Structure 1
Amino acid sequence: MKRAMLFPLIFLLTFTLKVAGQADEDPPESPEFTLVTINPANGQTVMTWIASPSPDVAGYVVYLYKDGEGYAIDTIFDPHATSYSAVRQGTSYYSESYVVAAIDYSGNISPLSNELGTIYANSLTDTCNNRIVLKWNKYPSLPSEVTGYDILVSVNSGAYYLAGHTSAETTEFLFGNISSGSDYCFTVGANLQNGLKSVSNKACVSVMVQKIPRWINADYATVNDNDEISLSFTIDPTSETDLFSVERRQGFSGTFQQIAQISKADADNVSYTDKTVVKNTVYFYRLAAINSCNIKAAYSNVASGMILQNKTEGNEILLAWNRYREWKGTVSSYRIYMDAGNGFSEISSAGPVDTTFSISIPDIMYTLRNGRVCFYVTASETGNPHGIQGETRSNISCVTINETVTVPNVFTPDGDLKNDLFKPVLTYTPVEYRLVITDRQGKIIFDTTAFLESWDGRDKAGDMVNEGVYLWFLSIKTPSGKNISRTGTVTLIRR
């Protein structure tokens, strides 16, 4: 049973007569307690009620209600009073419950009203998840049903705004994306079916969290001279993170797996070389920043290695590579480099969507030193939002061109720029070379040791020779040390 204790009233008039000579001993009816709320502007606890319908009400007593007992905290000597407010220090630390009773002029106290309590909200910083956890107690659903809760937030003493809404059964709210060094204050408002609202205390917290990177840029994943993949990542310079995880995925599907953990204080760049790669396999990489709670809190974009492959078809070498992924900018171009024995040099470029390139063997065969030619491809980045220009390189892919000799059997030196010259076609640069051409009588018409020199159909005096069949003698020493001697005929035709 609800009980009222410590009633402190002192009335000037302590009794009235119901009937001549008879004292009034009937208590008035209870008021209906409608709302308890905290005024966020001044921190006062505000209570409202519907007045008792009894005609002889002299005022109202406000009680703190604990464990089924009412402890009077104030009396309002006004029969028309329907509200009360006061600063209650405890509401900043816990929920307080109250009841109200009516008192008549004879000192009779009504039964205690229904119980209502304040909403106590408490905020806790969850730095491991970069959020604030807000919790509160349920507001009573009598006499009016709670329909839900509104959560308001103020950042750095700014204006309060609606951060979210929960159902009537939910008493927790997660506020994310918090900033270190900022102050956050929250209030929770219970929306009641009758249109009223009960507001909690202010729950404030100052946030000091480790700054995780706002961005991590994967600069490149490039194949080095040892067929390992070198990685570079640029870190947001405002970050306070000093622990990172290098993750790798093999192929175009599957999940990323950690392959290394790197600790580096004040890091603005993280480099790593993956020495466990399988040759000619496409790998994808990313870097994760690990916060002080050992949680991977930020990731870079993905970087992919480029694998260059080749095949020979007829007189062409066909190069093919996978496109580079996934810069924060875009690929501006691909550049093709070739080494025919004197070191790599750029021979051509390709557009950002191209992934193939062909090389004519006859166009390069006289530049070869040892019958072997190698290639690699680079990709360049443009439009990076952080001003970083990535550059990456594929593996080196080599082709061995067989030491072959092809000698034409007819040519037409008539000045039409078609088949006007005669010389053997080699797929390499010979160590030694001699070509001799004679007529049928054995007279030497042309003699050279320069493998790039061609016969144009003239004799040694510079005169055009007649149409007919001529003999040639070829002596070569190949780059591999093989000696080749051949002879044959060529027919000269003038049109």
Structure 2
Amino acid sequence: MIRKYLFSLIAIFLMVNLFAQTEPSLRCISLDENQDATLSWIQPADTGSDFNAYLLYYRNNVANSFSIVSQITDFNQTSVLVNGNYATFGQFTLVQVVNGFVDTSAALDTVSPIVLGISSSGRVVSLGWNNSGLESQDSIYRLYKSDFLGNWTQLETFDFPLTAAHDTTVACKEEVLYRVEAKGVGGCVSRSNQATKNVIDDLAPAQTNLLCASVDTANGLVNLEWSKSVSEDTYGYMLFYFEDFNRTDTIFGSDSLSYTYYKNGIDALLRPETLSVAPFDSCFDSVNLWYNQAADSLRFSTMFIDTAAFDKCSGKLAFEWPMPRKGFPVGVRNLSGFRVYRQDNNETPQVISVLSSLDSVFLDSGLVAGNKYTYVICPFDEITGKEALSNKVVIDLGKKNSPDYLYIKSIVNNHESGLNAINVYADTTAETVAYGLWRSMTMDNKFMKVEVVDEDLTSEFSISDESGSASQTPYYYQVFAYDQCNEVIGRSQIAKSVYVQGTKNVQDLINKVTWTNYEGFDTADTDVDFYNLYRVTTGSNEDLLSSDERTFKYTDNLEAIDLVSGSICYYVEAQETSGNVYGFNAASVSNLLCFDYPPTVFLPNAFTPDDDGRNDSFLPFVNFIDPTNYELVIYDRTGLLIFKTNDPFEGWSGDSQNTGIYAYRLVLSNARGETMNYAGKVQLIR
């Protein structure tokens, strides 16, 4: 049964083909601006049959049945226009019927119109179409675009089976019109529908980032470099400066990729500055009142050395800087490390160290006094080849801030302590932190430091020579100024004290005194005007004995002196001439030279108070004693105290007393403070 049935089907198939007609072959299908379809075909061979018509079938979906949309009765006609919206993915097929519509040819082709779809994003237009199913003469799709005058221009060609393309509009707003064509076999052309769209560019350009933010070490401005935006419609770049609030600057031109930011008080020498960049296109946004602009991305900070610890005395320093954070690069985009540049004086800067990207501290040592060092630390990016400069730090170890003047005004001996006080005038604007007093016994001898003063440093001060023996020798003095490193940054002139010495002749009551000259006024354009020799006797009584410019000795006769203390002292004052360049008119004072004499005491044994001017009172004659420790008392025969005085010049006049013998007691002190007692009797005669 199965074999018999198979033979029957084959027989029927042979009979159909025996009477079948030749098929028309579709070659092109074109859509016009109204979406009407024009189909072209190749006329079939004439078999001599009675031609009735060409039947054109259409279905809008492969799941549906075909329906006749056109009947062509002219055998020689090879194209037909079918009205309707055929810019869809429907299918056409064409057959011929003959012999009174009895015999129908096979459907050789099932074809679709080329339907062109369109979409856009920003200025980029995306196009896509289907394959019609027709044979092509050259297997090429041609893409056309129309201008606003209706002129079509071929944009590009695409080899089968590629069915997609992209185009970029020029204007921010543009109504575009495209079509696709393919040449069919025999010379006809298949055209797609005309795809149109009103393209509006409302997309911002692709983001870009800074490559480098480098400090101009001369003025604190920031030199910026950035990557070009990949968006073809980039019109320029917006620069953002983040201070108290955001500030901006605008750079026009897609190829403008560097700029020196100088506005709004930017100063990367004083602080780290933060900036970023964002591209914008030429399409003005009427809502935001600005061009389409991308958001800024990485915000760069300039490299800033914010800590500089320097030990001037050891020649060491340390730098520290903030590390980059995620999204906030420092100096360059991809930090590979840091190069430390140092310029010694005016020489070419040299790289003295290369640090890793994890380092944030740098130490340097061996800095030499007298030099000037300038440091710049540069983050670098090995990927982009960029290097950014930091702010510069200058360490100047050059000329010391030495005092403009350091001057010994005078040397004055304190007669109570016996110490020399060196009076100094100094420049307080210098780096002085202490002064040292140096002393020598001779000009050529080696000086030694004997005192240091480091408190209450004013422009005028005194240094006391606590270890000197000013009563035994003259001294040469010099004052040194020291900085914080205990280095000498200034020296005064050398000044010599005035020294007084002498001899005494107790028997003849003659003292001989000599003194040395003072040295030190000459550096202030003055000299010693005169030397004053003073004698100090009872209490604080002073007598000027001589005043002369060039006399350095004196002989003093004490015979005519009444009631002086047990010590006869002398000192010399060297008085400066006028015209001192510092405005002083000082005097240097020598040591105090004293001679001790034994007391002289004469006690009368009688007196006559008769007012004749001779021996009218009982008055002991004393000399070379301490007048501050003197006491004379008188007693009568019964031991009654009748008179008392502490004045060496006051005697007992015997008032209210009768002639007779009276007792006295005298107490006094010599120059060394030793107490001496005298007692006896005196006769009052009337």
TM-score scaled by structure 2? Answer: 0.36
Report the structure number with the largest CA radius of gyration.
2
TM-score scaled by structure 1? Answer: 0.48
